Each structure stands twice: as C-alpha cells, then as structure tokens.
Amino acid sequence: MKPPVFDPGFVEEVAALYRHDMQEMWDPKLCRHIWNQYHNQLDIYLGFAWGSPMRILDVGCAQGTLALLLAERGHRVTAVDIRPQFLEYAKSRYTHGDIQFLAANVLEDDLPGEYDLIFANQIIEHLVFPELLLTRLRALLVPGGRLVTTTPNGSYIKNKLPSYADLGDPDDWKDRQFTADGDGHFFAYRDVELRRIYEATGFSRIEIRYFETPFISGHMKVRHVHGFVPVGALRFFDRLALRVPGLRQRVSHQLLVTGTRSVEPA
C-alpha cells in the first residue's frame, strides 16, 4: 500500500479524507493519539482475518486502508463505498493483492458474491434502519460466515447522545440517513440494542466486545501523554481496564458486535 499524494484538485470531502489518512496511517507526528487509536483498531479488525484466505467484504471502506491490508495478506476483498471519489482515492494507494472496488449503496444495490467475513465498521450509527443493513449483509454471508460491526459505545461515560431506542419512530429521522461523518452523529447504540437487532435479523453466536479506553482514544486529556509514553504501555493499561467487568462498558469509546450466519439444516 502506497502513501497518499495530495492533489490540489481534491474536492473538500476528499481533502478531509486525505488529512484523516495522514494522521491515522502515515505520519504519527501529526497527532499521536489518533495514530495510536487507529492502529489499535486495525489490529483488532485484522485479528478476525487469520488463517487460510477468506472472501471478505468491507462495507463503507472510506479510504480503503483495511481493505487494502486484507488484500495484501492474501484475502480476496471487495471494498464498497457509496462515494466513488473515496474509492478513487483508495485505488491510488493500491500496490498488490486481490481487491475489487465497488461504488454501491448496500441498502439498495445488489452486491456480487458470497463472503466468509463482512466488516461494517463505523457505519451503522449513520443509519436509522439498522435491521435492513444486517438483513442484507446476512444474505451475503456463506453459512458459518461472520459479520463484524463496530460503532461508538452508547454506554461510554463521555457519551452525551441519546440511544437508538430513545429516538422513537425511525421514520421521523430518515432524513438523517447517511449523515456524513462524526459531526453528523445524533445517537449511539448500547450493547443490548445491537444484540437485539442481531437476534431479530437471524444471527447466532452473537458476541459483544468493548474497546478503546481513554488510554488509547486519548480522551479525558490522556492524549497529552501519548507523545512520550510508549504505545506498548498505553495498550497494557488499556487491556487492564478492559478486563474489569462493569468498568469496561463505561470507559470504552467503541463497541464491537459479531454474529454468525447459522448453517441451515439439510
């Protein structure tokens, strides 16, 4: 994967993507806590794709970093985003691997193929009809295939947003569908809400995981120590906090839920 090259002709949305990409992946000196946060997320995601090569779908791939890394590790990857200009940016960093870039709306467009593993990272909080997303993604999984969804944790001590259930009738909020970025968040999910949605859409073996305490996110002014405390030490204290029942739910910025498409009886 090549580093990005800035183009003065970038539209503002792509220029913002470039700035995020540089902070997250390419230059730790720009913002050390964002670098640490993003690399921690990548390590978690890549941990789901070990062993023999898989067919993997990355929905809402944005700059395509995860998809490109998965392809470089020998997986067959389909990277989907609703924004074609983001896919062109991702393509500009491609070096090798089996990857297909596809501009599509997963809620409306039929996607090709069947998949062993699907990532839907940081997108469900932009949707007001999450059951539709999970139903469509489940149909793309092979029996025994796994869906990984991540989203900001509604039970996080710093969260000030209402939960999904607090919104009431989703039809009242459909004009907020696909709000563009973190500034567009208007609710957050609690673990019980996402578990209920996974169960309602037919997933089994549902697992919930919390990640990204302030030691990694840099929240609560911990970002000020990221410049001189080794990342290994930060991850050590992060793991300690995540081991404490009750505490991890309140101090984790992110929530991860996985579910499996059951093997239908013969």
pTM > 0.75: yes
The answer to whether the beta carbons of residues 69 and 42 sit under 8 Å apart is yes
Tell me how far CA of residue 246 lies from CA of 1, 56, 179, 233, in angstroms: 40, 33, 31, 23
Instruction: Catalogue all structural domains in the chain, each as residue range(s) with its CATH number.
Output: 12-261 (3.40.50.150)
Residue of 172, 182, 212, 189 lying closest to 20 (CA atoms): 182
Q: Is the distance from CB of 77 to CB of 98 less than 8 angstroms?
A: yes
- Alpha-carbon dihedral 218, 222, 224, 226, rounded to 10 degrees: -60
Q: Degrees (nearest 5) of the Cα angle 106, 107, 111?
A: 35
> How would you classify residue 64: left for phi > 0, otherwise alpha for psi between -120 and 50, otherwise beta?
left
The closest of 107, 22, 109 to 63, measured between CA atoms, is: 22
Q: Look at residue 266 in the predicted model and tell me its pLDDT.
A: 45
What is the tens place of the pLDDT at every residue in 66-93? 999 999 999 999 999 999 999 999 999 9
- pLDDT of 172 reads 75
Q: State how far the Cα of 70 lies from the Cα of 49, in Å rounded to an integer.
A: 8
Return all residues near 134 (Cβ < 8 A) that are at least 6 apart.
147, 149, 197, 198, 201, 203, 259
Strand (E) or helix (H) holding 58: strand 55-59
Beta bridge partners of 55: 76
Q: What torsion do the CA atoms of 242, 250, 38, 217 make, to the nearest 10 degrees?
A: -100
Half-sphere exposure of 21 (CA within 13 A, CB side): 23
Whether the pLDDT of residue 171 is over 90: the answer is no
b/e per residue, 120-132, with b = 16+ CB within 10 A?
Answer: bbbbbbbbbebee
pLDDT tens digits, 120-165: 999 999 888 899 999 999 999 999 999 999 999 999 999 998 898 8
Higher pLDDT, residue 170 or 89: 89
pLDDT at 144: 96
pLDDT in tens, 216-245: 999 999 999 999 999 999 999 999 999 999
